[in-house]
Amino acid sequence: MSSGGTNGASQASKKNSKKPKYSRFTQQDLPACKPILTPGWVITAFLSIGLVFIPIGLASLFASEHVVEIVDRYDEDCIPSNSASERLTYIQSTETNKTCIRNLIVPKKMKQPIYVYYQLDNFYQNHRRYVKSRSDLQLRSKEYERDTKTCEPERAHENEPIVPCGLVAWSLFNDTYGFSLNNKILQVNKKDIAWKSDKEHKFGSEVYPKNFQKGPLIGGGKLNESQPLSEQEDLIVWMRTAALPTFRKLYGKIEDDLEANEKITVVIQNNYNTYSFGGNKNLVLSTTSWIGGKNDFLGKAYIAVGGFCLFIVIGFILMYVIKPRPLGDPAFLSWNQNPDGHLN
């Protein structure tokens, strides 16, 4: 700072002075921390990442290993062999018997709750025209029943609004599963499969289905018109559109333990048409763990990243030893390395 301003004798001139006021802020001199990547810091950082990531990776792999999952693709097999060539006709027909029986072997002991999912492949629930074709206002309250302008082409039936409107609701999944173990029926709990928040706030308890699936083209499941939307949990689950073209949706929970090698018989009503777009249908029974379902990816990724970090640590230690550069060494300054370069 210049002392010029302070020794100015006359107070009056000081008053008129445009001299900027000094503050650490205006002089860009705020106290600051200036971290520098010293070898010590770098090695510590990578080492600690490695040491943290590998255990986490192992833990999640372990957790994933403990998840027991039964996946059964049934869409192909549930077409009677005589209809195989005309699958579409078969599935679209209202007359055909669509019951299909599958037997599943439990590979390992499965502790309750066992989640029952249906998994669809190649079903683009995130397709732009599909996700947009719904009316959240209408779902929520009766007043907005006619708020269906986003619902094309499932908007109205004979000039009456469809509730719930739109392609999403229209394409409601409608296969059903009945489980039995040793001829004893396994209860599937279909309560509380949807988010509580959705039931309470998103889907109105006053809103009842209307004109649903009355059109010439039936997209999927029908709804009980006497139940408000907030209690149609299958619909609520379905309406929470999936992120990816391969997705599972919760069908119910089996609240019994299953022992290894037990044989479960599933009676499937194979109603849902995935044949028109080459989609797959799977039935999934899965236990759960702290990282969710069975997925090795994260565990492997964590171990890979942790391992890479440890590798880097070794690499850096070698480099620091082999070719050290003292930090702040002026000899490395460009003008010291090539003093002539700065002559002009």
Q: Is 167 in the site for another protein (CB under 8 A)?
A: yes
**Binding of another protein at residue 312 (CB under 8 A)?**
yes
Asked if 293 is part of the footprint of another protein (rule: CB under 8 A), the reply reads yes
Site for another protein (CB under 8 A): which residue of 94, 149, 226, 290? 290
CA-nearest of 57, 51, 43, 44 to 304 is: 57
What one-character-per-residue DSSP string does 209-231 give? -BSTT-SSS--S----TTS-GGG
Q: Does 318 bind another protein (CB under 8 A)?
A: no
Q: Which two tokens stand for residue 229?
A: 């939307």
Touching another protein, residues 257-286 (CB under 8 A): 273, 276-278
AA letter at 42? V
Applying the rule CB under 8 A, the residues between 8 and 27 that interact with another protein are 8, 16-22, 26-27
246: CB partners within 8 A, 6+ apart = 119, 120, 121, 122
Query: What's the order of all strands across the beta sheet hosting 263-269?
Result: 99-105, 263-269, 176-181, 184-186
Q: Which of 9, 37, 321, 322 binds another protein (CB under 8 A)?
A: 37
CA–CA distance, 224 with 210 (Å, rounded to integer): 10
Q: Which of 72, 198, 231, 256 touches another protein (CB under 8 A)?
A: 198
Q: Is the peptide bond before 164 cis (omega within 30 degrees of 0)?
A: yes
**By CB under 8 A, is residue 205 in contact with another protein?**
no
Name which of residues 89 to 118 contact another protein (CB under 8 A): 117
Among 11, 15, 82, 340, the residue binding another protein under the rule CB under 8 A is 340
Please state whether beta strands 69-73 and 280-286 pair in parallel, antiparallel, or not at all (unpaired): antiparallel
343 binds another protein (CB under 8 A): yes
Smallest gap from Cβ 19 to another protein, in A, equals 5
Stretch that binds another protein, among 176-184, 227-235, 256-264, 324-332 (CB under 8 A): 324-332
Beta carbon of residue 10, minimum distance to another protein (angstroms, whole number):
13
C-alpha torsion sign, points 125, 128, 134, 137: positive
Near another protein by CB under 8 A: residue from 119, 174, 213, 270: 119
Does position 199 bind another protein by CB under 8 A? no
Cβ pair 124, 243 in contact under 8 A: no
Q: Which of 9, 36, 321, 322 binds another protein (CB under 8 A)?
A: 36
